[in-house]
Amino acid sequence: MRRQGWLCAAVVSALACGIVLCSCNGGGGDGSQMPSEELQPPENTPPRSVSLTRVVTGLAEPAYITHAGDDRLFLVERAGRIRISHQGTLLATPFLDITQLVVSLSGERGLFSVAFHPQYNTPGAAGAGLFWVNYTDTQGDTVIARYTVSSPNPDQADPASAYVLLTIVQPFGNHNGGQLQFGPVEGSEQKRYLYIGMGDGGSGGDPDNHGQRDDSLLGKMLRVDPSTDAVPIPPFYTIPPDNPRPTAASPLDTVWAKGLRNPWRFSFDAERGDLYIADVGQHDFEEVNVTRAATPAELNYGWRIMEGLECFNPPSGCDRRGLVLPVFVYAIGGASSRCAIIGGYVYRGARFPALTGMYLYADLCSGEIFGLDETSSGTWESTLLHSSDFRPLTFGEDAAGEVYIGGDDGNVYQIVME
C-alpha cells in the first residue's frame, strides 16, 4: 500500500511489504464532523486486558478473513487460494484455487479478498451460492470475478463457473486496493450493493492524478448491483440508480466516490451501516475515513490534494472545498515504527461488551492493535489495545460479529478480552 516493494525491505519484511506496502515515501467523515486533532494514536489504558487467541495456523500469506453466514471462516491466501476453517480445523482442500490465474507475487499483487452474496446460504434465493473475488491477473491488472459454489459439496467452489465483471488496468504493481464488501440495505431499491476499493494505481504520489480524475477507475470506491440472473449477461452487474454518474460510459458509471490512495481494507458497521475506510498514506500520515449510512454519493476523500489533514499537491494552499476530511489521523516515520494502517471492523459481537462500537485497526510495522471511539462531543479517540509480535495483514469477522486478525506469521487470531 505504500513504498515501492524493492525499497521496503530495510523497513519491513518482504512478505509484509509485498502484500500491503509499496511506495517508499511514506478522507472519511460525512462532511459535518470535525476531524480529531490527534496525530498519534494515544496509548490510553485499554478497557480491559485485550489479547489474541490463535485459531488457525499454517496459512501462506493470509490476505483476508470472512464468513458466508455460517460457522465457517473463509481465509484468503495471496497466492490464489481460499481456505476454510471449520470449528478450528483447517480443511486440506481449498474452497477455491485460482493460482494459475494470479500474477507472480511481486509488489502488491495476488488474490486479495472474497465477498459472499447476502443470500449465499438461502436455498432458492437469487444470490444462493454466489461469491465474488478480487485478484491481480497474470498481466498485472485487477480482476473482479464471480464464482458459484459447487453442488453438492458446500466446501468446494466450481472453478469453471467464473464470470468476469471488471478488468481494470494497473499501471504499477502497487496500490491495487483489493477489498470487496457488500454494503447495508440502501437506496430506493432497498438492495445491498457490492463495493470495490481501488488504489490510485501505484508508484508514489499518484503521478497521473488518478485519485482526482473522472476518467479513471483508480483511486476510487466503486459500487455495483451484481447480477444474480440464472443466465447472466455481460457485464454481469447493473448500476445503482443513485451512483453519481449512472449514465456515464461503462465502466465509469461504477464510480461511487473518489480521492483514495490505497483503501487496502474498508468495512461497514454491521449495526449502523457506516462505512469505515482505512486509507494508507504517502510520506507522513495514516487516516481513517467514516461516512455515515445514507450519505449521498459523489464524495471526494481528498487524495492527492491532501494527505491526512495536510496539503500534499500542492504542498500548501490547497483548496479543501468539497473534500471529506478523515475523522482520525496518525503520524508515521521518524522515531515511530508505525508505517501503514490496516483497517478492521466496528466490533458488534456479543462476547466482549467493553469493545462494542469500537473500530479496531492496526499498524503493519509496529504490530500494534488499536480501538477508535467517537466521543460524545464528536471527536475521535484511539486506544492502544495490544502489541503483537507479528505484522498484522488483515482483519475479518465471523457470522456472530467476532473479530479476527491475520498475520505475516501465517496464523489467524481471534481478538478476545480476559
Give pLDDT tens digits for 372-402. Answer: 999 999 999 999 999 999 999 999 999 999 9
8 Å CB contact between 179 and 266: yes
For residue 305 the three cell numbers come to: 490534494
Cα Rg of the chain, angstroms: 20
**Cα–Cα dist 112/102, whole Å:** 10
pLDDT at 278 over 70: yes
pTM for the whole structure? 0.92
**Nearest alpha carbon to residue 73 among 61, 93, 89, 60:** 89
**Cα–Cα dist 288/276, whole Å:** 7
Q: How far apart are the first and last CA of the chain?
A: 33
- State residue 229's pLDDT score: 73
Over the chain, what is the mean pLDDT? 89
CATH assignment of 5-417, among 2.120.10.30, 3.40.50.300, 3.30.499.10, 3.40.225.10? 2.120.10.30
- State residue 380's pLDDT score: 97
Would strands 412-417 and 50-56 be described as parallel, antiparallel, or unpaired? antiparallel
Mean pLDDT of 38-50: 61
Cis peptide before 304 (omega within 30 of 0): yes
For residue 80 the three cell numbers come to: 490464489
Mean pLDDT of 170-175: 93
**Cα–Cα dist 277/108, whole Å:** 19
- State residue 45's pLDDT score: 59
CB crowding 63-84: b at 16 or more within 10 Å, else e: bbbbbbeeebbbbbbbbbbbbb
Cβ count near 399 (within 10 Å): 14
pLDDT tier, 107 (very low <50, low <70, confident <90, very high otherwise):
confident
**Nearest alpha carbon to residue 358 among 309, 412, 288:** 288
**Cα–Cα dist 274/155, whole Å:** 31
Would strands 341-346 and 328-331 be described as parallel, antiparallel, or unpaired? unpaired
The phi and psi torsions of 50 (rounded to 5 degrees) equal -100, 135
In this predicted model, what pLDDT tens digit does every residue of 221-242 receive, in sequence order? 999 999 777 667 888 999 999 9
